[in-house]
Amino acid sequence: MANKFVDANYRYIAAYQEVNARISQRQQALALYLTLVVSLLAALVALRPAPGGAMAPVEWLIVGFPVASFALALMNYTSERAISNLRTFLSGLERLENAHLELPSYNTEPRWSSAANKARRYRDLATCLFVIAGNAMGLGAAWKIYPDRLAEYAWFMWGSVTLAVGSILVLLITQRFSYRPATG
């Protein structure tokens, strides 16, 4: 009777392909975020009223900066959790028949995982800096260009700042969910 189970090597390859896909998604999410921020900044400038012209409802536009940041933070968190789960699975496969005792095991040996987590922290910090800068530029430009409109609708500005801070906090705590190999 033919073996009905998929060989561990194929499972390992499939899981690693999924890890790589998640890493690519994180990079794509960051690129999308940066594109959105630049687009929102361009819209703020383009909607600047001519002297005596009608004022555009920019209070709705400024919410886009923190919403984009929060979406990026949630996508980052989701990817980190998926990568951690996949690497736990990969570690289990590396431990089959105690192979990790005879072969180098990237997901099982703490020295490799620790180095990978440290490297990813720099990416997380860069993402956090992009979010801080994107919100500061966007909300600051809006305040500078439309001070009267935003003073009239101050709760939009405060809500945007609150959501931006929330996205920064999510980005900062995401590293807590990085993969760590089981001890023992």
Report residue 184's pLDDT band, with 50, 70 and 90 as the boundaries.
low
Rounded to two decimals, the pTM is 0.88
Distance in angstroms (rounded) separating the CA atoms of residues 72 and 49:
31
What is the domain range of residue 43?
Answer: 10-47+56-177
Asked if residue 101 is part of any domain, the answer here is yes
Asked if residue 165 is part of any domain, the answer here is yes
Position 170 scores a pLDDT of 96
Q: What is the pLDDT of residues 162-181, one digit of tens each?
A: 999 999 999 999 988 888 88
Asked if residue 152 is part of any domain, the answer here is yes
When divided into structural domains, the chain yields a total of 1
Report residue 126's pLDDT band, with 50, 70 and 90 as the boundaries.
very high
Position 59 scores a pLDDT of 84
Q: What is the mean pLDDT of the chain?
A: 89
Helices 110-145 and 8-46, packing angle to 10 deg: 10
Amino acid at the residue 109: E
Asked if residue 95 is part of any domain, the answer here is yes
Q: Which helix (H) or strand (E) holds 26?
A: helix 8-46
